[in-house]
A = this chain, B = another copy of it.
């Protein structure tokens, strides 16, 4: 292990996982933490409570389709949702750089309020720190969230089985490519926009309708769908087979990825839900997903097999196959 923290350690890829397993887990031994799910589900008096945290350091703080504020609200709602929890409340921790424009802060707070209102999830506690100019970059936001799991469905990587179907609630890579092109100041034809949105309405719908058939859910943020699937493949020792032709992508996203030499499989999504579910319920789940605004472009994108245990395989449009490795190196910092 190196003697310094590098950008890699925050990339969501291999170096991040090593940091967690080799350093954090060395000292922090709570079994719930070790499950490495997006939110902690705690046994509590009268029901299970979900609790999650995320810090947002996205650069730029304003981007087409959103800003750091709504991203922070939706992101933590989504972490709770992926555990099957109904989000109850958020906390808001702000670290502000001296000299931040007041108008910018107001715009961000306003977006937070609008996002909370839309989602029906309030901020109930908060904290603000200011650091001297040059000691942070405009604004960093931590949102933590608690939710209640009021069903007994277990959403867990360990429930994924051979034969399961992989569904995705829409297009790939919108958020990641929007941030990267905005930051680079690239003008791309078309309408690149972040897909930041809350996923709890969609999750509520499919859990109500087909609860027990839902084996696991993830929102493929940092590291993208490729890294998310690679983690599940490794954890289950099963093969995740996906088809390129089933992965929806906006034309301008595809063009921008080609222009910048980036693989959309590794780019962040901020409003997409990946579901792995029992095959006999896959069509019903797809229909339920499509019936919700946030899932209107849902597709079946793959299946779980034993072909290459522990690996992710992509069948390309031309009929070839390639292994999808977990992201390592080439970090894309400050995407969220």
Contacts and interface: CB of A to CB of B under 8 A. Distances in A.
Given A45-B47, A53-B91, A91-B144, A24 B109 contact: yes
Nearest to A75: B127
Contacts of A40: 89, 91, 124-125
A93 B125 contact: no
B142 A27 contact: no
Q: In terms of DSSP, what is the predominant structure of the interface of chain A?
A: mixed
A104 to B, nearest CB: 9
A131 B28 contact: no
A33 B131 contact: no
Given A44-B88, A116-B28, A130 B333 contact: yes
B93 A144 contact: yes
A244 interface: no
A102 B16 contact: no
A6 B142 contact: no
Contacts of A110: 27
A146 interface: yes
A150 B45 contact: yes
Interface stretch (A133-141, A246-254, A296-304): A133-141
Interface of A: 1-11, 16, 19-20, 23-24, 26-30, 32-33, 39-40, 42, 44-47, 49, 51-57, 59, 88-89, 91-103, 105-106, 109-110, 112-113, 116, 122-132, 134-137, 140, 142, 144, 146, 148, 150, 333-334
